[in-house]
Chains A and B, each alone.
Chain A
Amino acid sequence: MLYDALIAPFVEFEFMRRALAGIVALSIGAAPIGVFLMLRRMSLVGDAMAHAILPGAALGFLVSGLNLFAMTFGGLIAGFTVALASGLVARSTETKEDSSLAAFYLISLAVGVTVVSIRGTNIDLLHVLFGNILALDDTTLLVITFNATITLMVLAAIYRPLVIECVDPLFLRTVSRAGGPAHLAFLALVVINLVNGFHALGTLLAVGLLVLPAGIAQFWTRDLSPMIAFAIGAALIAGYGGLVLSFHTKVPSGPAVILIAAVLYVGSVLFGRVGGLIQRLFPGKHLEA
């Protein structure tokens, strides 16, 4: 019974196994990035970046159809351009990062929509908005796992300055010049993971695997390494749970994954050990324990 519900779908259908492999790779790459986004109070930046990527992916789509590399490349270019431009403007002028990013992603979005409507709108463009985790072919899987690997490697390289900048940016500036480059590299990782996500979940929901697992993890621990582990775990549970949910109900897979993550998030808000609502309302019990 439990076997039928939880394991049989993956044994019987190759597309389910591929979806699971894709979601695992996505989770391992995106969840740590999400944690750093959250610690740097940039969770909404992820959302803005997703909008910034859309025009690039749409342009790639217009040039060569549903071509994986054209769309990835277009998305990366658009995302990098917006990330770098807003980062540079924020660091070299008095503008704050959030307003420069908002300005640049809106410019990117407007340019993208203009180009798309000049070339004639296409319903297929909706597939860019809503990727499909059930349709991962070999190359898409390879691209996703490749991007996840790159993410982990770069993250390992910039881990130290990134953490220090989260905690004490002034201290980092006094001891090292790595803050700027690390920040830019981090933004690049955000873009890579969003592009990764839109193959599987679409541009609109790709942010979900970045932001929600980190949001869940912060309710369970205050330490960074366990928090990253928690986030990855939450993303994996949401991914697996979402696929199973989509298999047994009529919920489309992408939204199903994010819905499971949302349920975990609400549960964490209520029952989380660190600052969860119940723990805040009845702190005594926890102190005794």
Chain B
Amino acid sequence: MIRTLMLAAALLVGSVLPMHADADKRINVVTSFSILADFAKNVGGDRVQVSSLVGPNGDSHVYTPTPADVKAIGEAAVVIVNGWGFEGWLNRLAASARNSSRGGKITIVEATKNIPALKDNDPHDHDHGHHHAGEIDPHAWQSVENAKIYVQNIRDALIKADPEGATAYRANGDAYVARLDALDREVQAAVASIPKARRKVISSHDAFGYFASRYGIAFLSPQGVSTDSEPSARDVAAIIRQIKSEKIPAVFMENISDPRLMNRIASETGAKVGGTLYTDSLTDENGPAPTYIAMVRHNIKALTSALAD
């Protein structure tokens, strides 16, 4: 009996070890949020093991790192972040990872390198703590054109961390950039199908600056509306006035989550109520935006169906 068990154990160990060896060959890549993780997976393919600090559906703005994150960063061959102050919690996390890791050497790559930055010139955005008027808007990935630069930066970082895989990373990167090119044209074609006068929405999102400047859909912020808690009559009146005076065809307001109120605003102004737009995070496998490409497609579909005549 004991002998059989030992045999079984030996077999088990024998069967597990080679897999371990295989897994160890893959390099550890840690990204700060799920969209970067999707880029890294597409470029790295089988050669990388990608994990994201802020998972799907998480909010990178207000994330609080855990001790497990310190460990993950310490063990990563390369850490890919957005930069431009998007991950405000990153510096302290990196410092504590440096203190606790063996070599004390952690490679952090900012994926927004070489992307022309837009100033965040939205003066109404005083309710979010994370960035203020005049600072750089960090949501550069919302333009597919910029996503290509993200991918190139990530490709270069992976090649630096794992020179043996250079050819694979280049091939994967080129293939993915080609898909992004097609996506970019797709978005432009979709926007072109919307009449020019209707290319504007009211949105509580502050993440569409790059999208707006690349594709020409204006994102107006609701004026004088506090985005947290229950809206007052004044908030609702302000939104209705703005929609009427600027003839805005659609409203994307996630902070007013009460569908009854959105319907009231819609029927009083004639504006359409748009669906969900995904900005800072992908959804999980079963959601409508499990990958970056799916996310952009989802958003443009929500926009075109709300703005079409």
Q: What residues on A are CB-neighbors of B267 within 8 Å?
A: 137
Q: Are B264 and A134 within 8 A (Cβ)?
A: yes
Q: What residues on B are CB-neighbors of A13 within 8 Å?
A: 236-237, 240, 268
Task: Say if the beta carbon of A251 comes within 8 Å of chain B.
Answer: yes
Given contacts A15-B268, A135-B264, A252-B229, contact A246 B259 (CB under 8 A): no
Q: Considering the complex, which residues of chain B in the window 252-269 have a beta carbon less than 8 Å from any beta carbon of chain A?
A: 257-261, 263-265, 267-268
Q: Interface SS of chain A: helix, strand, loop or mixed?
A: helix
Given contacts A13-B240, A15-B268, contact A246 B260 (CB under 8 A): no
Interface centre among A9, A16, A134, A256 (most CB of B within 10 A): A134
Give chain A nearest CB distance to B251 CB in angstroms: 14
CA distance A33 to B25 in the complex (A): 76
Task: Say if the beta carbon of B233 comes within 8 Å of chain A.
Answer: yes
Given A123, A130, A136, A252, which contacts B232 in the complex, CB threshold below 8 Å? A252
Interface centre among B232, B235, B264 (most CB of A within 10 A): B232
Interface centre among A16, A252, A254, A256 (most CB of B within 10 A): A252
Q: Are B231 and A134 within 8 A (Cβ)?
A: yes
Q: Are A135 and B258 within 8 A (Cβ)?
A: yes
Q: Are A250 and B257 within 8 A (Cβ)?
A: no
Q: What residues on B are CB-neighbors of A16 within 8 Å?
A: 233, 237
Q: What residues on B are CB-neighbors of A183 within 8 Å?
A: none
Q: Are A249 and B264 within 8 A (Cβ)?
A: no
Give chain A nearest CB distance to B115 CB in angstroms: 35
CA distance A18 to B263 in the complex (A): 14
Task: Say if the beta carbon of B102 comes within 8 Å of chain A.
Answer: no
- 1/0 per residue, CB under 8 A from A, across B227-251: the answer is 0011111111100100000000000
Q: What residues on B are CB-neighbors of A251 within 8 Å?
A: 232
Q: Interface SS of chain B: helix, strand, loop or mixed?
A: helix
Q: What residues on A are CB-neighbors of B264 within 8 Å?
A: 15, 18, 134-137
Q: Are B263 and A137 within 8 A (Cβ)?
A: yes
Number of B positions contacting A (CB below 8 A): 21
Task: Say if the beta carbon of A14 comes within 8 Å of chain B.
Answer: yes
Q: What residues on B are CB-neighbors of A15 within 8 Å?
A: 233, 236, 240, 264-265, 268
Q: How large is the interface on A (under 10, 10 to 19, 20 to 34, 35 or more residues)?
A: 20 to 34
- 1/0 per residue, CB under 8 A from B, across A240-254: the answer is 000100111111111
CA distance A137 to B265 in the complex (A): 11
Q: Are B234 and A249 within 8 A (Cβ)?
A: yes
Q: Considering the complex, which residues of chain A in the window 231-289 have a beta carbon less than 8 Å from any beta carbon of chain B?
A: 243, 246-254, 256
Q: Are B257 and A9 within 8 A (Cβ)?
A: no
Q: Are A134 and B229 within 8 A (Cβ)?
A: no
Q: Are A66 and B234 within 8 A (Cβ)?
A: no
Q: What residues on A are CB-neighbors of B258 within 8 Å?
A: 127, 132, 135
Given B226, B233, B259, which contacts A134 in the complex, CB threshold below 8 Å? B233
Given B230, B236, B237, B259, which contacts A66 in the complex, CB threshold below 8 Å? B259
Q: What residues on A are CB-neighbors of B259 within 8 Å?
A: 66
Chain B, Cβ-Cβ closest to A123: B257
Give chain B nearest CB distance to A254 CB in angstroms: 8
Q: Are A132 and B232 within 8 A (Cβ)?
A: no
Given contacts A13-B268, A15-B268, contact A253 B260 (CB under 8 A): no
Q: What residues on A are CB-neighbors of B231 within 8 Å?
A: 134, 252
Chain A, Cβ-Cβ closest to B235: A250
Q: Are B234 and A134 within 8 A (Cβ)?
A: no
Chain A, Cβ-Cβ closest to B264: A135
Q: Are A127 and B234 within 8 A (Cβ)?
A: no
Task: Say if the beta carbon of A19 comes within 8 Å of chain B.
Answer: yes
CA distance A32 to B226 in the complex (A): 37
Q: Are A9 and B237 within 8 A (Cβ)?
A: yes
Q: What residues on A are CB-neighbors of B261 within 8 Å?
A: 132, 134-135
Q: Are A247 and B233 within 8 A (Cβ)?
A: yes
Give chain B nearest CB distance to A208 CB in angstroms: 15
Chain B, Cβ-Cβ closest to A248: B234
Interface centre among A19, A135, A247, A251 (most CB of B within 10 A): A135
Given contacts A135-B264, A137-B264, A252-B229, contact A247 B257 (CB under 8 A): no
Q: Are A247 and B268 within 8 A (Cβ)?
A: no
Task: Say if the beta carbon of A98 comes within 8 Å of chain B.
Answer: no
Q: When A and B form their complex, which 8 residue pairs have the shortest distance between CB atoms, in order from nearest?
A: A135-B260, A252-B230, A246-B233, A135-B261, A247-B233, A135-B264, A246-B232, A250-B232
| Given A14-B268, A134-B231, 11 new contacts (CB under 8 A) | A13-B236, A15-B233, A16-B233, A134-B264, A137-B263, A137-B264, A243-B233, A249-B234, A250-B234, A250-B235, A254-B230
Show 23 residue pairs from A and B whose CB-CB distance is below 8 angstroms, ordered by the A residue.
Answer: A9-B233, A12-B237, A13-B240, A13-B268, A15-B233, A15-B265, A16-B237, A19-B233, A123-B257, A127-B257, A127-B258, A127-B260, A130-B230, A132-B258, A132-B261, A134-B236, A135-B260, A137-B264, A246-B232, A247-B232, A252-B231, A252-B232, A256-B232
